[in-house]
Amino acid sequence: MGEGVARFWREIPQRYNFIGDRCGSCERIFFPPKESCPFCRRKSMGKMKEIKLSGKGEIVTYTIIHVGPEDFEEQVPYPIAIVKLEEGPQITAQIVDCNIDEVKIGMKVESTFRKIRQDGSTGAIYYGYKFKKRC
């Protein structure tokens, strides 16, 4: 990409550890963690507590990417899904370790720590979560 390092090299611990947060006012859980709860707003200020999520959930919807961004070209075709986590939040991630045809709405999945992309053959490697079928 050649765009300097700050944007993707900056550490985003939530991305590796599935850390979300819970609103101390309404108990709703968010991922990625929010500075304030969009339902309670000022009542939630200072009451957002970090929480480790299970990484388990199910597929809400999905697509199979056939034309990918440059960094993902060697991975196509690959499934991308919106996963609803057991704790409530929905996230976007790749589905791996299964046949493309197996990916379905409602499929139970769990997170797995993987390499996401790389800046060319010698550039930085970025890691994060993907999801695989839950047995």
Contacting positions for another protein (CB under 8 A):
7-8, 12, 32, 60-70, 72, 75, 77-78, 80-82, 90-94, 105, 116-117, 126, 128, 130
Nearer to another protein (CB atom), residue 52 or residue 77: 77
Cis status, amide bond into 69, omega within 30 of 0 = no
Three-state SS for 107?
Answer: coil
Three-state SS for 87?
Answer: coil
Alpha carbon 27 to chain centroid distance? 21
CB 113, min distance to another protein, A: 13
CA distance 27 to 110: 23
CB 112, min distance to another protein, A: 13
Nearer to another protein (CB atom), residue 52 or residue 104: 104
Nearer to another protein (CB atom), residue 51 or residue 64: 64
Rounded to 5 degrees, φ, ψ at 101 are -65, -20
CB 116, min distance to another protein, A: 6
